[in-house]
Amino acid sequence: MKKSWFFGFGCLGIVAVGVLLIALIVWGSYNSLVGRSQEVDKQWAQVQNVYQRRSDLIPNLVATVSGAANFEKSTLTEITEARASVGQVRVDPNQAPNDPAKLAEFQKSQERLSSALSRLLVVAERYPDLKATTSFRDLQAQLEGTENRITVERQKFNEAVQGYNTKVKSFPGLFFARMFGFTAKPYFAAKEGSDVPPKVEFNFGTPNPSPAK
């Protein structure tokens, strides 16, 4: 009789230990997935912060260059419209984008703004008096730093996504990801060449011809 009791308690003990181990594995896997997801969210917020920093600099840049005589109005209109189009793309700032199409839309609008910004700065090369102003030089330096920061933060975002996706797609994370509804996130994959920041450095010591009249 005692042997049967010991055997029964032994079986229960083994089952209890097994259940505890499974619970610990599930708990650990869930927390790991949450941690990876939160890291992606944090890096996405950083990407948005640096893009917003660039957007905030543009009104001052436009105001500065618009004061130059005969500056191309079409260029100013282009960058103003491009900045407005960026504001129309809504991506939840509290979490990294989960929709590849939405992320692609966000990228496209930012690339359009980058192109317009690059054109504005290239046109500014034909205005020596504008380039010589302290305000323009300061804005140029800030934009250069911001563009470099955008590249860095996008890279960090992709690294965070890679770590998360690896966890979601590999065993045993794959099993728990499906159980708790964790799905793979899209990468920030800009088109070829768009990862090169717009040229914002000028040879201030080199004289440039005045615009044709």
Q: Which residues contact 115 (CB under 8 A, 6 or more apart)?
A: 82, 198
Give residue 195's pLDDT band: very low, low, confident or very high (50, 70, 90): very low
Give the model confidence (pLDDT) of 101-157 as tens digits. 888 888 888 999 999 999 888 888 888 888 888 888 899 899 999 999 999 999 999
Q: Of 69-78, 147-156, 168-177, give the range with the top mean pLDDT.
A: 147-156
Q: What percent of the chain has pLDDT over 90?
A: 34
Give the model confidence (pLDDT) of 111-125 as tens digits. 999 999 998 888 888
Cis peptide before 172 (omega within 30 of 0): yes
CA–CA dist 145, 29 (Å, integer):
39
> How large is the average pLDDT for residues 152-166?
94
Say which CATH architecture domain 2-180 belongs to: Up-down Bundle (1.20)
Task: Provide the residue ranges of all domains of the chain, joining segments of one domain with +.
Answer: 2-180
